[in-house]
Amino acid sequence: MFPLQRGRRLRTNESIRSLVRETSLSPADFMFPMFITEGENIKVEIPSMVGIYRRSIDLTVEEVKEIFALGIRAVNLYVKVSENLKDNTGLEAWNPNGLMQNAIRAIKAACPEMIVMPDVALDPYSIYGHDGIIAKGDIENDSTNDALVKMAVSHAQAGADFVAPSDMMDGRVLRLREGLDAAGFHNVGIMSYSAKYASAFYGPFRDALDSAPVDATEIPKDKKTYQMDYANRIEAIKEALWDVEEGADMVMVKPGIAYLDIVREVKNAVNVPVTVYHVSGEYAMIKAAAERGWLDHDKIMMEQLMCIKRAGASLISTYFAKEAAILLNK
């Protein structure tokens, strides 16, 4: 029988395609990860992340104003801590006058409507490069949680809108919620890195913060005892559900493109917004391939971001945020 239904009728031209398009992107769908360093008037490009910089607070504030004008409404903050401030306790992480705390205050003073989500994990502050406190050759879960609470409360005191625990310690969302509430920060939210996999895609990020685990016989050589095994799917759903039960306002899947099946599974399982981190390695691969002329940079950038949104992301943390916003605004 000659087809009565012809799918191509809805693909005839761009006007028709735009009418029936199921997924759309806007700058408000993006969160921009930003790296902050000490000093003034400092802007240093990260070699493995072309176009991404470590900035001092003054230049970070200027960049925040610029991306807010483009329609981006959230930033995820990371700090590069001086070596002399690192130890095995994370003490500098809750210094009220620390780099992160000062950055939060400066951003909120200059751009109050920008949603600020500082990273909560000890690896930038650790002499070992791990997300928690080392004891007896392993990452100690519960004492790490105690440190994370102090860190999160200090971020809230500085003006953070959300805290973003990326450490993958068991029970840390509940401890953070209890700690924030006890300190009077009932309206400060938690965006939990719920399904954070032990991925090789994080390499450029660790270059940016100098936060890779150190090579020492007395400590774990990698983060596989707390970050998830990338062979697992059901575990991601379980972790996300636990975090929601413990008080997470948003959950995150990380990395992005290689884990879109997990994004959809988590989206179907939870009743809170799902954030996806389009990570440094995914960014760097596109940049490298585009530089060699193997891919059309803008087309593949937008395709990947659209696919992440289509899979179920409410918010995409991506190093492409500014470039994509500029393109969308055109």
Dig out the tokens for 3 from the structure.
């087809």
Dig out the tokens for 235 from the structure.
């575990």
Asked whether residue 154 carries a pLDDT value surpassing 70, the answer given is: yes
| CA 5 distance to own-chain centroid | 43
What pLDDT, on a 0 to 100 scale, did the predictor assign at position 242? 98
| CA 176 distance to own-chain centroid | 18
Residue-wise pLDDT for 158-168, tens only, equals 999 999 999 99
Q: Cβ distance 156 to 162 under 8 Å?
A: no
What pLDDT, on a 0 to 100 scale, did the predictor assign at position 207? 73
Give CA separation, 29 vs 121, 210, 287, 308, in Å.
Answer: 24, 29, 21, 11
**Average pLDDT of 29-37?**
97
- Domain definitions of the chain by residue range: 24-329
Asked whether residue 44 carries a pLDDT value surpassing 70, the answer given is: yes
Dig out the tokens for 64 from the structure.
């925040």
Which residue type is seen at 111? C
Q: Is 322 a catalytic residue?
A: no
Q: Is 309 a catalytic residue?
A: no
What pLDDT, on a 0 to 100 scale, did the predictor assign at position 209? 67
The residue written with tokens 């399904």 in the block is: 195
**Average pLDDT of 133-154?**
96
**Distance (Å, rounded) from C-alpha 214 to C-alpha 101?**
26
**Average pLDDT of 315-326?**
98
DSSP 155: H
Dig out the tokens for 266 from the structure.
């988590």
**Distance (Å, rounded) from C-alpha 92 to C-alpha 90?**
6
What pLDDT, on a 0 to 100 scale, did the predictor assign at position 280? 94
> What mean pLDDT value characterizes the chain?
95
Q: How many CA atoms lie within 13 A of 12 on its CB side?
A: 6
| Catalytic, out of 86, 108, 196, 287 | 196
What pLDDT, on a 0 to 100 scale, did the predictor assign at position 38? 96
What pLDDT, on a 0 to 100 scale, did the predictor assign at position 221? 85
Beta bridge partners of 228: 197
What pLDDT, on a 0 to 100 scale, did the predictor assign at position 167? 95
Q: Cβ distance 39 to 323 under 8 Å?
A: no
Residue-wise pLDDT for 230-249, tens only, equals 999 999 999 999 999 999 99
β-strands 74-79, 138-140: how paired? unpaired
Q: Rounded to the nearest 10 degrees, how much is the dihedral formed by the CA atoms of 133, 274, 196, 47?
A: -90
Asked whether residue 67 carries a pLDDT value surpassing 80, the answer given is: yes
Nearest-Å Rg of the Cα atoms of the chain is 20
What pLDDT, on a 0 to 100 scale, did the predictor assign at position 217? 65
Q: What CATH number has the domain spanning 24-329? A: 3.20.20.70
| Catalytic, out of 86, 108, 223, 254 | 254
Residue-wise pLDDT for 188-223, tens only, equals 999 999 999 999 999 887 777 666 677 666 788 889
The residue written with tokens 């600020």 in the block is: 116
The residue written with tokens 């390695």 in the block is: 281
Beta bridge partners of 87: 126
- In degrees rounded to 5, what are phi and psi of residue 102? -65, -35
Dig out the tokens for 150 from the structure.
């102090």
Percentage of residues in the chain with pLDDT exceeding 90? 91
Residue-wise pLDDT for 80-130, tens only, equals 999 999 999 999 999 999 999 999 999 999 999 999 999 999 999 999 999
Region of poorest pLDDT, from 14-23, 89-98, 201-210, 255-264: 201-210
Would the annotation count 291 as a binding residue?
no
What pLDDT, on a 0 to 100 scale, did the predictor assign at position 19? 96
